[in-house]
Each structure stands twice: as C-alpha cells, then as structure tokens.
Structure 1
Amino acid sequence: MGIIIKPIITEKITKDGEVFNRFGFIVDKKANKIQIKLAVEAAYGVSVVEVNTMNYRADRSVKYTKSGLISGKTNAYKKAIVQVKEGETIDFYNNI
C-alpha cells in the first residue's frame, strides 16, 4: 500500500462510484498511472479501465485573530480518479 495513501470518501466521489463506477484515491506524488492501476487492482481485486490524475498544490493562508497573525499551509497531494470495469465495485465500508 505504498502507492495508495487513502481513499477519498466525499458526496461527489460516492455518487460517481454509484453511477459511473469511478472511485477516488490520494496517491503518492511520484506514482504514474500504470503503477496506480496495478496497485488498485492488487488491493481491491477489480479490473481498472481508466486512471485520471490531478496534482494539487499547497495553499497558504493567513488568519487575522485576536492574538495576531497566524499563517499556515495545506499539504500538496496527488489525486487519482479510477474507473473500474462495468459490474464491478469497490466497497470502502466493508472490512474483509
């Protein structure tokens, strides 16, 4: 599980999983589409049809509070949207 860091469970991704058989994962920044495909097939036992990836940059933010300025940033990450074969699904909620 070095390539797949964690699955993305949001309303939009869950709806895509039910309608279009697409599931989202946060993956290693250096992983390519072939490595992601092989990792998902090995971890969940499904056939992957398509993999789309997106790189998200780190966002900086500044908050003005009573005690002064607080600065911070979010982490940069890579997101992969994986489409599985028709009739197959990935169940994130069942621990088998």
Structure 2
Amino acid sequence: MSKARDILIRPIITEKTMKMMDSDNKITFEVARGSNKTEVRQAVEEVFNVKVEKVNILNCRPKAKRVGKYSGTTSAVRKAIVKLPEGQDINLFKD
C-alpha cells in the first residue's frame, strides 16, 4: 500500500460538493489512479483522524476541448466520495 498522502491528492471543492458536505456529510477527494476503496478509507482515517462510513469511487474520463484551432483533452480524474458518520467532521478550511 502507498502512503496516505500519496493516495489523497486533493479535496474537490465545487458548489455541488459543498452542498454534499452540508447536507449528507460527504466529502469528495481526487485520489490516485491505482487506489481502491479500502486504501482510500485507510488514508482518510489516518490523515484526518475520523471514522469513515462509506466510500464510492468514480472515474471521470477526459473530455475533448478546443481553443481556436488547437484541440486537446482535459485530464482524467479518479474521484472518491467519502461518507462520514453523524457527529464527525473534516475541516478543509482553516478559520
């Protein structure tokens, strides 16, 4: 198994993920390509000192984009949606 900091690349902060954080206590992370649910669960528990209830993983395929005459693709991303039990919280923003 890789180190926990190698598995969790960054939290994904969008309007949709913020709504999921507030209502469902779910947090979304970009994770390493070869990681599985067990590794993600262990990494989140180790780094943030919380208990993880459920992990869902999805692969976002690259999309074709064009700017003028130049064409290319966006990068592929592997996301993990981590559900925490009631009463537990991860503070991603320092107050």
- Shared fold, TM over 0.5: yes
Percent identity between matched residues is 37
Q: Which runs of 5+ in 1 are unaligned?
A: none
Kindly indicate whether residue 50 of structure 2 is the aligned counterpart of residue 46 of structure 1.
yes
TM-score, length basis structure 1: 0.89
Where does residue 33 of structure 1 map in the other structure?
A: 37
Q: Corresponding residue for 2:75?
A: 75
Deviation at 1:77, TM superposition (A): 1.1
Q: Report deviation, 1:74.
A: 0.5
Structure 1 runs (4+) greater than 6 angstroms displaced: none
| Larger Rg belongs to | 1
Please name the residue that 1:16 is paired with: 20
Q: Which blocks of at least 5 consecutive residues in structure 2 are unaligned?
A: none
Distance 1:85 1:60 in 2: 38
- CA distance in 1 between counterparts of 2:44 and 2:57 reads 14
Q: Higher strand proportion, which one?
A: 1
What SS does structure 2 have at the residue aligned with 1:58? Answer: coil
CA distance in 1, matches of 2:66, 2:88: 44
Structure 1 position 61, deviation (Å): 2.1
Cα distance in 1 for partners of 2:93, 2:65 equals: 34
